Amino acid sequence: MIAEKIASIKASLPEGTRLIAVSKLKPVEDIMEAYNAGQRLFGENYATELRDKHAQLPGDIEWHFIGHLQSKQLKYYIGFVSMIHGVDSMEHLEDVEHAAAKVDRVVDVLLQVHVAQEETKFGFLPEELSAARFNPAAYPHVRICGVMGMASHTDDQARVRDDFRRVKSIFDTLKAGTFANNPAFREVSMGMSHDYPIAVEEGSTLVRIGTSIFGPRDYSKKQ
């Protein structure tokens, strides 16, 4: 069943858009079923759960940390994570740099932008990104590869589309300006199970899909 769902989702994605299977709170058996179906990109939200799953699962999995970044928990996954999606402030960017330096790695990150109507979502405001100075020399252990954003939690698809369109516009502005000479800056991470078709239409290159693959989660198991 998991394999069939992955195949169906991948068949719906255009060339250049990749699927991250969000496996938070799901057992390693489910992840292995997805892995055996050819899936290699997995997203986790909780640091210690990611650490534990990495230790139990095949080494060629590309792990993406997609949860809210907490500096004290970077140590649990900085040594192996492929990409961190939620760098939402200059302070957190510096924290990732320091943690990556300790393990002598260059870690890929995405800048999280805040475009949703909810105040609870994290991220740079568009004006903060336009004013920020991302000097590569200051972050030798970090590679900024693009942006990540979440749409407002609403049934209003026009609002969702507008949010995704704003994320892509921010990416385009940064790509043409601050990161014009950075070939690694090419990812737009947006779209989840309930809204990824709209995100893809608006230019997403990474979709983060969990429930549509693995089914509902039991949050009582949260670590």
pLDDT in tens, 10-23: 999 999 999 999 99
In a domain, 221, yes or no: no
171 vs 153, more confident: 171
* pTM of this structure: 0.94
| DSSP state letters, 167-185 | HHHHHHHHHHTTTTT-TT-
pLDDT above 90 covers what percent of the chain?
84
Report the CATH number that the domain containing residue 59 is assigned in CATH: 3.20.20.10
**Coil, strand or helix: which one is 199?**
helix
In a domain, 18, yes or no: yes
Tell me how far the alpha carbon of residue 183 is from its chain's centroid: 19
Instruction: Give the residue from 85, 190, 180, 188 showing the smallest Cα distance to 146.
Output: 188
Q: What is the pLDDT of residue 135?
A: 85
In a domain, 217, yes or no: no
| Residue 15 near residue 204, CB atoms below 8 Å | no
In a domain, 96, yes or no: yes
Determine if residue 189 is left, alpha or beta; phi over 0 gives left, psi from -120 to 50 gives alpha, anything else beta: beta
Mean pLDDT across the chain: 94
* Domain of 205, in residue numbers: 2-210
pLDDT tens-place string over residues 106-154 = 999 999 999 988 766 789 988 888 777 888 889 999 999 999 999 998 9
In a domain, 219, yes or no: no
Total structural domains in the chain? 1
217: pLDDT strictly greater than 90 = no
In a domain, 77, yes or no: yes
Q: What is the pLDDT of residue 35?
A: 98
In a domain, 33, yes or no: yes
